[in-house]
Amino acid sequence: MHSPVHGGRAFRHAVTLSAVAAATACGSPSHTAQDALADAAGSQDAGVVGESQDGGQASDTATSGPIIDGGAADVDAVFTDAANSNGDAEPRDAAPGVQGAGTFHGVNWADIRDNYVNGLLQLSGLDASADTNSTVHAKAEQILAQFRAKVGANAIRIPINEPTVSSPWWNAYKAVIDTATADGMKVVVAYWAYHNGKPDIETAFQSMWQTVVSEYTSNDLVYFDIHNEPYGFGTSWSDEAARWLAYFPGVPRGRVVVAGTGYDDDVAAVGGDARFAGCLLELHIYGFWHTTWTTTKQWTDSMTSALGGYASRTIVGEWGDTMNTGINYDVDAADGNNQISYVASVSDYMHSAGMGSCYWPGLRDGDGYSMTTLKTSGTTLTLSIVNQSGLDRLHWAWNL
């Protein structure tokens, strides 16, 4: 595990972890445990500094959370005890089968157009007009190996939609899933509605999922994320998610991911719904949602409220911030800057609560939040880390 190198910050994290351990000794993180996190994070107010979704950089004169030593070079060492049937140096999960929310060290692999596409999805590096199952497999093998070795990921989250799954492209596209699981990685398969926050046709949505479920129910490394950011349903989202469970009663509950309401921004309602007992939950949180927030307390309080005591069942399916402007997230003080306070607080919270997450994005061409950039030379695909301090923070969130 990486740890802060500054004594003061190390002490703050030790206090936080002790408080959480004491408060959660009898089960999943309670409100008391989250209060301990909030208290440890501090409450100093600061001036308003904002940033935009498209990656505009706020001033970084105010600084952030713990400096985390190590980085990409340490990843293989962290995973040396993991099972690896290929006998190489790449990380693998130590145990097969259904795994809990906290085990997800994931990244989103996304379409260059974002995943809200009314047509065939093609993850960055893939070509829906030319790639076959074998070429997708070859590309995925390279990219996924670098997600593991350079980022430290053991999971990916990828999109599906009705056109992709119902077309001949599906036979090639699913090679991403097959390649990842063959290499021991978990795959979160998530539905994206291209507009309005809900499917246009419920029967087409059900048919799409029937294809995916029929193919992958027997594969314990595939997880079914019913609907990304189902804002179009409003308060009826829980009923829609329950319908999905009724459509597919044979899917193990531990491999079903139920989004929080709205933009996946609140899991309290679905977490407390007995119909979703045993299911994983999903939270999204972004700094650009609240550009006037510049203190760790604001972000910590927001996480506490959004989780509603269900942290142990929740994957943070999307979180991330600007990586391509040189901003340094490995700095000491967290208050005073929207981006840095957000990244520091959210990563600290996940670290202390033992939560899993999927960073947005691990790879998306042209996205300033992307943790890696892709360079193609012939058939060779090479990923490079964009911001080491951002990766350090991701490792901290994952308890690596």
pLDDT 10s digits, 314-334: 999 999 999 999 999 998 667
Q: Could you tell me the CA-to-CA distances from 290 to 184, 299, 337, 395 in Å, in that order?
A: 37, 9, 12, 24
Tokens of 9: 């910050």
Q: Which residues pair with 375 in a beta bridge?
A: 382
With bands split at pLDDT 50, 70 and 90, how would you rate the model's confidence at 9? very low
Indicate left, alpha or beta for 346 from its phi (over 0: left) and psi (-120 to 50: alpha): alpha
Give the C-alpha separation, 42 to 36, whole Å.
10
Nearest to 157 by CA among 190, 128, 182, 179: 190
pLDDT in tens, 22-70: 333 333 333 333 333 333 333 333 322 223 333 333 333 333 333 333 3
Q: Look at the block and give the residue holding tokens 């063959």.
A: 182
Residue pair 325/305 in contact (Cβ under 8 Å)? The answer is no
0.85 exceeded by the pTM? no
Q: Look at the block and give the residue holding tokens 């004169």.
A: 61
Domain segments of the chain: what residues? Answer: 7-81+91-397
- Of 85 and 179, the one with more pLDDT: 179
Residue 203 phi, psi dihedral angles, 5° rounding: -65, -35
Domain 7-81+91-397 -> CATH class: alpha beta
pLDDT in tens, 102-128: 999 999 999 999 999 999 999 999 999
Tokens of 176: 């991403």
Long-range interactions of 208-214: CB distance < 8 A, separation 24+: 208/160, 208/161, 208/162, 208/165, 208/166, 209/244, 209/247, 209/248, 210/247, 210/248, 211/165, 211/166, 211/170, 212/160, 212/165, 213/248, 213/250, 213/251
